[in-house]
Amino acid sequence: MQERTGSTTILHLEAFLPYRLLRAAEEVSRRFARHYKNRHGMTRPEWRTLATIGQFGSITAKQIGEHSSMHKTKVSRAVRALEKRRWLKRRTDDLDRRIEHLELTPPGKTIYRELAYIARVFEQDLVEQLGKSGAHRLDEGLTAIENNLYPEPRR
Amino acid sequence: MQERTGSTTILHLEAFLPYRLLRAAEEVSRRFARHYKNRHGMTRPEWRTLATIGQFGSITAKQIGEHSSMHKTKVSRAVRALEKRRWLKRRTDDLDRRIEHLELTPPGKTIYRELAYIARVFEQDLVEQLGKSGAHRLDEGLTAIENNLYPEPRR
DNA sequence: CTTTATTGGTTTCGATCGTAACCGTCAGTT
DNA sequence: AACTGACGGTTACGATCGAAACCAATAAAG
C-alpha cells in the first residue's frame, strides 16, 4: 500500500471533500442511531418521522417528507410502523379525503420527549468533543451548504 | 403544520447537527454521483474502490475497506464488478495465498484519470459555490470530527 | 506433527431502499 | 354529467445493504 507520488493525476480520497463529508456524517449518524435503536428498536426513518410529528404537532406525510428530506415511501412505511406501535394516529382531512393528518398519541409523546432529550444531550456532547470552535465552524460550513446548494423552495 | 412554541420539550430537526450533517453530505454525494453514474454506470462502492486502487497503485481488498471506510462485502462486490469490466486485475500474494493484490489495468487507469479529473473539477466548483470562507469552515469542521471522533488506528 | 484460532475474502439471507406502477380523490374542462 | 390530469398516499419489485455463516490458508499452541 505504497502511495504513488510525483503524479498530478492521482486523487487523495481521504482529502476529497464529498468523501470526508459523507464519512463524517455517517459516523455521527451511526453514533446517534445507537441511542434510539438500542432504546426503542427504531429505524432512522421512524425516528425522523416521530421527531417531525413531535415538532409540529399535526402534519401530513407529504410535509414530513419535505421537512425531513425523506422519500415518500420511506415516510409511508415509517408511519405505518409507528402506527402499529400506537405512537401516532391518523385523521383524514374533512375537506380533502386524500390527506391524512398525523398526530402523536400520549405514549408517542412520551417517547418523543424522551428521545428529544437524548438528542439534545447527544448534540451537546458532540459539540463538547469537537470543541467550541470546531463545532462552530462545522455549523458555519453546513450553513454555507444549506444556503447555496439546496434547491429553492418552490413558490 | 403549525409549529408549537413555548415548550422546552420540542426538538428542531432542521437545526439538529447530526441531521444537518447527513442531509448536507447526501446532497453533495448525490450531486457528485451524477457524474460517475451517468458517465460509466458506476455505483458508489465501485467508484470508491477504483479511486483507492488508483491512488495507491497496488492494494488489497482489506486495505481498501479500511482506507475508504467500506464494509468488506461492499469491497468484495465492487472488486468483482470492476474485474468484470476488466478495469482491474488480481494477483495472489506469493507468500500468503489468502491475500490478493489489486491493480488497475491500462483501461482502468484511463477511467481513473478521467474520474479523478472530474472529481477535482467538482470539488473546485463546490468550493466556489460555498464561498472561500464557507468551504474553509466546512473543512475545519470536518477536521475537528476526524481528529476527535474517529477511532484511533490500532497499534 | 495435530489441533485450534485467526485472517482475507466470498456467499447467503433477511432487511431496507427507491423507481415505477397503482389506487382513490379532487379539480378543471367540456 | 363525463373526461382528463394532478395529487396524497400505498404497494410491487428489483437492487443494494450488512450481519453472520462460510471457505481456504496461515499462525499459534500443544
Tell whether pTM > 0.75.
Answer: yes
> Does the pLDDT value for residue B34 go beyond 50?
yes
> Does the pLDDT value for residue B88 go beyond 60?
yes
Q: Are B144 and A130 in contact (CB under 8 A)?
A: yes
pLDDT tens sequence across A33-60: 999 988 888 999 999 999 999 999 999 9
Interval B27-31 mean pLDDT: 95
Q: Which nucleotide is nearest to A80 (CA to C1')?
A: D10
Q: Which nucleotide is nearest to A101 (CA to C1')?
A: D8
> Does the pLDDT value for residue A98 go beyond 60?
yes
Question: Which of strand D's nucleotides are less than 7 A from any protein C-beta?
Answer: 7-12, 16-20, 24-27
pLDDT averaged over every residue in chain A: 92
Residues 36-65 of B with CB under 7 A from strand C: 60-63
Interval A102-121 mean pLDDT: 96
pLDDT tens sequence across A10-28: 899 999 999 999 999 999 9
B23 touches strand C (CB under 7 A): no
Q: What is the pLDDT of residue B154?
A: 42
Q: What is the pLDDT of residue A155?
A: 39
Which among A118, A126, A142 is the top mutation candidate for probing chain B, defined by the most B β-carbons within 10 Å of its own β-carbon?
A: A142
Interval A98-126 mean pLDDT: 96
HEC letters along chain A: CCCCCCCCCCCCHHHCHHHHHHHHHHHHHHHHHHHHHHHHCCCHHHHHHHHHHHHHCCEEHHHHHHHHCCCHHHHHHHHHHHHHCCCEEEEECCCCCCCEEEEECHHHHHHHHHHHHHHHHHHHHHHHHHCHHHHHHHHHHHHHHHHHHCCCCCC
Q: What is the pLDDT of residue B152?
A: 62
Distance A5 CA to D12 C1' (A): 51
Query: Which pLDDT band holds residue A150 (cuts at 50, 70, 90)?
Result: confident
Query: Which pLDDT band holds residue B9 (cuts at 50, 70, 90)?
Result: confident
Instruction: Provide the b/e sequence for A65-89 (b: ≥16 CB within 10 Å).
Output: bbbbbbeeebbbbbbebbeebebbe
Q: What is the pLDDT of residue B150?
A: 85
